[in-house]
Amino acid sequence: MPQGTSTPWSYALIRLLFRFVLKIFYGSIVIENGHLVPENGRPCIVCANHSNSLTDALLLVTSLPVRRRNMLRLTAKATQFGHRTFTSWLIESAGTIPIKRRKDSVDGNADNTEAMQYLMQALELGDAVCLFPEGMSRFHPTIAPLKTGVARLVSDVLSRNRDDPNFEISVLTCSITYMHRQHFRSDVLVTFHEPLTFTPKNNPELLTPTDFASIRGITAQFHDRISSGTYDAPSWEYIRSAKLASRIYAPLGTMMSLGDFVRSSRSFLEVFKVPQDYLPEGDEVGVREVQQLREDLKQYQDQLSKWGIKDDRIRRPLSRKNIIRRMVLRLVWSLCLFSLSLAGLLLWIPIFATTFYAVRNFKKTGPIFDTWDEIAQYKLIYGLMSGICVWLFAVILSGPFAVVSVFLVPAFMWMTLRWFEDAVAAFRAFTALYRLLCVGKPELKRMNEVRKDLHAKVMNLAVGRLNLPEDPEAYYINAGGREKGRVRGRWDSKARYFSIKRRRKRDWNETLRLYDKVDYPEDIE
């Protein structure tokens, strides 16, 4: 049995480096079903949705359990090779295989015969290769129609090994869901699905000469599996309304695991997209009711965004006295944490400034639909380079204490980030409470009635049509495990507030911003 290619030192270094960088950039990276990844020596193609350029590949490299897979051979568009840039070096040193695209060619042709030969040889050695069957990184929330390249590669490898009827190749589909893909300290869900396994004996329809209908059929299976674990919407407004419906249905914040939150909101997204699939045939009234619910949710969220408050503030009204008391506590706590983090922020300012300048200039190079999917990539790379420079400068500056500061500087920077993140969250809560105070009781009472009506409709849809749990609070509090943003139990919850590992978030939409991130860029046709 093949053992797979040994891990190059450069690949191991890149994996270690970006595992560290990704954990800083994203607040939580939740990996589901890592045990489903085929082990070393078993030919495997990993294919996922592609909405975040190079970041998607780095995330997959760092998400695969090392004890099961020592290496993931990547592919990237050929235009990223051969440049004297850090990105180009990064891609090439990781053993990435260049893929030519028709749109990058002057004559509109792209010959990838050599690349396919490399991929087939790697698979026959027992390696895992990574392909993004959408064929491009996209800004839109709609998963692009999948190319048939993965299925054709499976067919070619099986045909080359047809003399061994038990030769096995697996396709591991993966769904990547970013809460806010380019925002600092946002959250990510990586879900691996049960691999599909193919052999010459069990899949003779894939041996050459191949019926193209079989290739398209397998590609459709890949699409169904990938889309089943992430958002696939015709516009950002659908996702926005679906997330709100999920929060109204189960207002648990991060006591509900990220995976459960994504699956819950995806259920609402699917019924909003095609309501007739969840209703009796010919039920036009029901279809209109679902469409009207989505519109009502949009208007409700628009009003919340205008006021700058969360749905939870409408669900659980606070007295004026309680609001003022909480404002004082949040402001004092925020000032304390800002004071603690002030010295360390001097080390972070050059990093923030460098990434801000680089991203601002990059956005000018093209329209939203052609640049916004690469923002996270630019932030990661420029943040890494400027961070290394800051670290080296601080170590050199420490002189005789350099041996100690090599470790103390990054530890101090991490704790500064943790304190600063809590400070921003506390100040964000202060400003939200102030806005709540300005809204006034009559408007809040009216909105509370609107929410009660929405809650009744959402629950009816969730339980009656989507078969979601009837008592979501009881169900989801006992589900999810250790990957929750908060933990059960008063003492444990308070202790985790000071966790060194990560901040105890209250909402999966939170990022390192002074306002809650619930809106998306306008849709671009």
Query: Residue for token digits 């849809």?
Result: 461
* Sequence-distant contacts of 233-238: CB under 8 A, at least 24 apart: 233/141, 233/142, 233/269, 233/273, 234/141, 234/142, 234/273, 235/141, 235/523, 236/141, 236/520, 236/521, 236/523, 237/298, 237/520, 237/523, 238/141, 238/269, 238/272, 238/273, 238/294
Give yes or no for residue 492 having a pLDDT over 60: no
Note the pLDDT of residue 516: 82
Question: Helices 441-464 and 258-273: crossing angle, nearest 10°?
Answer: 80
Note the pLDDT of residue 491: 53
Helix ranges restricted to H, 310-401: 311-315, 320-363, 368-371, 375-397
Kindly state the average pLDDT of the residues 316-335.
Answer: 95
User: Which of 25-29, 121-125, 277-281, 488-492 is predicted with the least confidence, judged by mean pLDDT?
Assistant: 488-492
Please name each of the domains of the chain with its CATH number.
9-227 (3.40.1130.10), 235-520 (no CATH)
Give yes or no for residue 405 having a pLDDT over 60: yes
Rounded to whole angstroms, how far apart are CA atoms 102 and 109?
A: 5
Kindly state the average pLDDT of the residues 389-400.
Answer: 93
- At 80, the amino acid letter reads Q
Residue 506 phi/psi, 5-degree rounding, is -105, -15
Evaluate whether 433 touches 326 at the Cβ level (below 8 Å): yes
Note the pLDDT of residue 367: 80
Residue 480 phi/psi, 5-degree rounding, is 105, -35
Local confidence band at 519 (pLDDT 50, 70, 90 cut-offs): confident
Note the pLDDT of residue 525: 41
User: Which of 2-16, 119-133, 197-211, 306-320 is predicted with the least confidence, judged by mean pLDDT?
Assistant: 2-16
Note the pLDDT of residue 77: 72
Note the pLDDT of residue 372: 83
Rounded to whole angstroms, how far apart are CA atoms 147 and 135?
A: 6
Q: What pairs with residue 149 in β-bridges?
A: none
Rounded to whole angstroms, how far apart are CA atoms 75 and 127?
A: 13
Residues 71-128 have pLDDT tens digits of 998 877 777 777 777 667 767 766 677 777 666 666 667 777 777 888 899 899 999 9
Q: Is the dihedral of CA 345, 351, 354, 359 positive or negative?
A: negative
Rounded to the nearest integer, the mean pLDDT of the chain is 89
CA 204 to chain CA mean position, Å: 37
Rounded to whole angstroms, how far apart are CA atoms 441 and 437?
A: 8
Give the best-scoring range by mean pLDDT among 132-141, 280-289, 456-465.
456-465
> What H or E segment, with its residue span, contains residue 266?
helix 258-273
Rounded to whole angstroms, how far apart are CA atoms 161 and 413?
A: 53
Local confidence band at 299 (pLDDT 50, 70, 90 cut-offs): very high
Residues 6-65 have pLDDT tens digits of 887 878 888 998 899 999 999 999 999 999 999 999 999 999 999 998 899 999 999 999
**SS3 (DSSP) at 98:** strand
- Beta carbons within 8 Å of 366's beta carbon, 6+ residues apart: none
**Model-level pTM?**
0.92
Rounded to whole angstroms, how far apart are CA atoms 4 and 95?
A: 14
- Beta carbons within 8 Å of 40's beta carbon, 6+ residues apart: 3, 4, 68, 69, 70, 126
CB atoms under 10 Å from CB of 458, counted, come to 23
